[in-house]
Structure 1
Amino acid sequence: MDDAAPLASPARRKPRVDHDARRAEYVSVAARVLHDKGLHAATMRDIAEAAGAAKVLFYRLFPSREALVEAVFLKVEAIILDAYAQPWEGYGSMVGRVLAVARKEPAPFLVVLKNCRSGQLDWEDRLRRIMARTSMPLFEPGPNAPAGADTRALKASGAMFGLFVDSMITWLEDRDGLTDEERIRWWGRIVKAWREAAREAFRLD
């Protein structure tokens, strides 16, 4: 008979919390709730309940509702910037990349794009700057462009902002009867023609 005392069970360690993953999950949940209930109607309680978490956990990662809403915008901003940082593969390729990512998780894009022109947030100005900056390579002034070409190029680069916003909303909601391949092909042709017409109109060559 073995009368040795049984070994004590080792204390169980609590699993480590991946705060970045949790934060990303909460931003995704927030985007869905903000989209379903409305940007200004949804509360932190609504979002916490949808995530199955205590509201206090949200406040540990986001000091305010405004900070959580801002995180949704930053998610969209990062996707757009990443798409435009990839090598150019032809007219429409950059927007095609944005759409492909947005298609996997449309709520953040729909929240931002549907509310960016409301005038209640600074999202429109920020998105316009992003789109203008990412479009600038198409409008680099030529060596013989008249004086003031840099200013005109900046204006030309932001001229399609409204069409981008409206088109992306329509595409994500599948309201035009087209496939994504058809949409990007259509967009590419528009951008090519727009670039040629804008360079002439804004005297960039």
Structure 2
Amino acid sequence: MDARRQGIVEVAARLLRERGAAAVTIRAVAQEAGMQAPTIYRFFEDKDALLDAVAEHVFATYVAGKAQSAGDLDPVADLRAGWHTHVGFGLANGALFALLSDPARTRPSPAAEAGAAVLRARVHRVAAAGRLRVPEALAVELIRAAGTGVVLTLLDTPPEDRDPALAEEMLEAVLRTILHDAAPVPRDDATALAVAFRAVVPTLPTLTPGERSLLTEWLSR
């Protein structure tokens, strides 16, 4: 990354952390970085592009850490670890988390999309292990909605009044909805069997692409 661009991003990240999203304007960043506003526009087309870069900068280590841990643990334990890291990051970076979660954003953040991709991979491992009782896509959306909701709720509560058990209770509620109590998947649960089988269809070497697509469609239905 260009040193000047990196410096702009770091200044914007500091302003976001210390003063909130409203303080991150092109003029304020330029002033803090010791340059003219037109210089900022040489690297970022608008404020949203700058904020996306800040999100990627702050989020990069977090996403990398999530990706590195995948595969090292039992799939369900790995899913739990990802939840705890997600909640911890959100509480430690409240302004950035609120920015990434803002429904008024006109475009998704690449950093948030990268985190979602890691979550999908974690859920897929759970499905392939025969532990998932709902379709993968539904499990991902339930976890994302619960994770975002619990962090925003805690951020909206004064630190001294936050219930430390809230995030854990929410996680347990979601897991009770999406998981079987034990592996392997029960033989009498047709939905869970279909979810587990669908997770491994892409790895079956004897199927043609058309057969694989048709089988995936059947199992999804």
User: So what's the TM-score if we normalise by structure 2?
Assistant: 0.57
Rg comparison, structure with higher value: 1
Q: Which has the higher contact order (CA 8 A, sep 6+)?
A: 1
Q: Which residue of 1 aligns with 2:82?
A: 94
Q: Which residue of 1 aligns with 2:16?
A: 31
The separation in 1 between residues aligned to 2:123 and 2:62, in whole angstroms, is: 12
Q: Which residue of 1 aligns with 2:108?
A: 122
The one-letter code of the counterpart of 1:106 is G
8 Å CA contact retained: 1:135, 1:157:
yes
User: So what's the TM-score if we normalise by structure 1?
Assistant: 0.60
Q: 1:158 aligns with which of 131, 137, 141?
A: 141
8 Å CA contact retained: 2:86, 2:147:
no
Structure 2 unaligned residues grouped into runs of 5+: 197-221
Shift of 1:34: 8.8
> What's the RMSD between the two structures over aligned residues?
4.2
Distance change (3 Å), C-alpha of 1:53 and 1:105: farther
Mapped pair 1:54 → 2:36: yes
The separation in 1 between residues aligned to 2:22 and 2:190, in whole angstroms, is: 43
Matches within 5 A, 1:143-182: 152-174=135-157, 177-180=161-164, 182=165
Q: How many residues align?
A: 177
Task: Specify which structure has the higher proportion of helix.
Answer: 2
Structure 1 unaligned residues grouped into runs of 5+: 1-16
Distance change (3 Å), C-alpha of 1:37 and 1:119: closer
8 Å CA contact retained: 1:128, 1:161:
no
Structure 1's consecutive aligned runs of 4 or more residues displaced over 6 angstroms after TM superposition are none
The separation in 2 between residues aligned to 1:168 and 1:119, in whole angstroms, is: 18
Distance change (3 Å), C-alpha of 1:119 and 1:25: closer
Q: Which residue of 2 aligns with 1:104?
A: 92
The one-letter code of the counterpart of 2:176 is A
What SS does structure 2 have at the residue aligned with 1:158? helix
Q: Which residue of 2 aligns with 1:14?
A: none
Identical amino acids, percent of aligned pairs: 14
8 Å CA contact retained: 1:136, 1:153:
yes
Distance change (3 Å), C-alpha of 1:105 and 1:153: closer
